[in-house]
């Protein structure tokens, strides 16, 4: 039977969605070297990949945007993607329609859409997207994982928005979870990523289990003001991230398509790491079967001669005054890569950095390198979608650092997969929104802004 605590939670939230009494689910505890994870708000799969690299099998992911779902399915065709709103899906469905079944889930992770909390725009507690945080909690309580990772923007820690974090912690504690209360904002540049990107992480576990620690930094941002007391090695630089990539200017084909067969140069150690080329490494992801001589996600941009001239004159590490684009410093790190706005909010492209050596903006592939994605990972062929997928995602190496701490408290020794995996159907990367929605049998209206119902207003007020 459902406990009094669970009934109170259901009543308090004014939701009729917690109709999966935990007592009716016989959860099997299995002895396995690849623990089970679920990704909520999966996007194109940055956190999915990071957790896979740490040794998890992410058997189920949930994402509302059909374009993102198609990209996710291309890169992880062997796991289940649910193209649904988190408001509509239930834990029972996730278990039933994936390979999870009644196995115990080791971790649920995800980052509810952050636009309502972001420091970039006006912070708004009443933003309808912020109610998704509470549906995240609902699904955690339905799935009952051992561990929980909630990721969000730094803006969630600022001013009155800190109240949201305290409410989340309180709700978890009222429902059988303990939370690491010294929540932290981590910078990807301190975990081997050549990008200044700060994200909030909240870690929790079921009562009685061992709380994880936050990962210790492994690097310090390159070219930042030197701290002599910090003995960590410098993070990879922009130059090291882009090293070995073919020059797109040599390929006219890239004016019409996003891929070409080309010769790559010598990779840096950073590139070897993200592509899992070291014989001894702590990357436990499934090797992908792909052609390493194919340069992907590299559709060229046709800049005007005037723009090229302005880009050339801009000093490295400075802002070009007209476009407001940041010109990358090859010996420094990238500024935060952002997503821009969705189609229902004008489809504005976030300012893309200027290449450090060439008078143009960086390509999607170059952005992916700066975000710690391996070269086999593909994005939608449209530049706007590709940059949005990267800008919305957690860098895989940062996600891996968090996931590795969960692995430690699970007391599991990760194992290298013995089999390699094929990537999915490339057609998925070319679909427009209507084609993707048709494939996943969803109504396009689901990705439009939803008008908050009385039930949702009550939900916000009662948490």
Q: Which residues have a catalytic role annotated?
A: 114
Helix, strand or coil, per DSSP, at residue 57 = strand
Cα–Cα distance list, 218 to 49, 60, 252 (Å): 19, 30, 40
Count H helices, E strands: the chain?
14, 12
Conformation bin of residue 79: beta by default, left when phi > 0, alpha when psi is -120 to 50? beta
Helix, strand or coil, per DSSP, at residue 70 = helix
CA distance 219 to 233: 5
Within a 13 Å sphere around the CA of 9, how many CA atoms are in the beta-carbon half? 26
CA distance 148 to 200: 14
CA distance 389 to 439: 19
Q: Are 89 and 82 in contact (CB under 8 A)?
A: yes
Q: What is the largest CA-CA distance in the chain?
A: 70
Q: Where are the beta strands (DSSP E) in 194-281?
A: 198-206, 260-261
CA distance 124 to 105: 33
Round the CA-based radius of gyration of the chain to a whole number and report it: 22
Q: Are 324 and 311 in contact (CB under 8 A)?
A: no
DSSP of 11-36, one letter per residue? HHTT-S-----GGG--PBP---SS-E
For residue 291, count CB atoms less than 10 angstroms from its CB and return exposed for 0-12, middle for 13-18, buried for 19 or more: exposed
Q: Are 417 and 423 in contact (CB under 8 A)?
A: no
Q: Are 85 and 63 in contact (CB under 8 A)?
A: no
Nearest CA among 136, 197, 58, 107 for reference residue 410: 107
Q: Can you say whether the dihedral through the CA atoms of 396, 399, 401, 405 is positive or negative?
A: negative
> Alpha helices of 264-409 — where are they, by DSSP H?
269-274, 305-313, 364-370, 383-391, 396-409
């Amino acid at each position: 039977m459902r406990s009094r605590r669970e009934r109170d939670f259901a009543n308090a939230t004014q939701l009729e969605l917690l109709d999966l009494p935990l007592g009716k689910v016989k959860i099997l505890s299995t002895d396995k070297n690849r623990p089970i994870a679920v990704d909520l708000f999966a996007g194109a799969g940055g956190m999915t990949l990071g957790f896979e690299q740490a040794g998890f099998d992410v058997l189920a992911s949930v994402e509302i945007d059909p374009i993102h779902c198609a990209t996710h399915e291309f890169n992880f065709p062997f796991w289940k993607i649910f193209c649904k709103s988190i408001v509509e899906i239930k834990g029972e469905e996730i278990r039933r329609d994936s390979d999870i079944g009644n196995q115990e889930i080791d971790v649920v992770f995800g980052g509810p859409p952050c636009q309502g909390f972001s420091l970039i725009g006006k912070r708004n507690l009443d933003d309808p997207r912020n109610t998704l945080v509470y549906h995240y909690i609902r699904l955690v309580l339905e799935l009952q994982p051992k561990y929980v990772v909630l990721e969000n923007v730094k803006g969630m820690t600022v001013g009155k928005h800190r109240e949201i974090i305290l409410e989340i912690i309180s709700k978890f504690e009222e429902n059988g979870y303990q939370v690491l209360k010294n929540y932290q904002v981590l910078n990807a540049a301190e975990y081997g990523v050549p990008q200044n990107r700060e994200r909030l992480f909240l870690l929790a576990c079921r009562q009685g289990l061992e709380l994880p620690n936050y990962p210790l930094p492994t690097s310090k941002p390159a070219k930042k003001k030197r701290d002599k007391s910090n003995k960590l090695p410098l993070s990879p630089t922009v130059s090291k991230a882009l090293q070995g990539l073919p020059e797109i200017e040599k390929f006219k084909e890239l004016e019409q398509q996003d891929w070409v067969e080309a010769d790559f140069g010598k990779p840096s150690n950073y590139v070897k790491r993200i592509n899992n080329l070291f014989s001894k490494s702590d990357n436990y992801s499934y090797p992908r079967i792909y052609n390493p001589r194919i340069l992907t996600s590299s559709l060229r941009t046709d800049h005007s001669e005037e723009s090229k001239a302005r880009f050339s004159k801009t000093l490295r590490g400075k802002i070009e005054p007209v476009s407001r684009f940041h010109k990358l410093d090859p010996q420094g790190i990238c500024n935060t890569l952002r997503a821009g706005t969705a189609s229902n909010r004008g489809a504005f492209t976030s300012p893309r950095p200027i290449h450090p050596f060439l008078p143009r903006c960086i390509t999607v592939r170059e952005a992916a390198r700066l975000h710690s994605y391996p070269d086999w990972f593909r994005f939608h062929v449209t530049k706007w979608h590709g940059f949005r997928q990267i800008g919305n995602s957690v860098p895989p190496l940062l996600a891996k650092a968090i996931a590795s701490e969960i692995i430690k408290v699970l007391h599991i020794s990760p194992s290298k997969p013995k089999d390699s995996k094929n990537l999915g159907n490339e057609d998925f990367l070319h679909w427009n929104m209507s084609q993707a929605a048709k494939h996943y049998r969803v109504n396009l209206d689901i990705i439009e802004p939803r008008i908050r119902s009385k039930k949702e207003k009550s939900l916000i007020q009662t948490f």
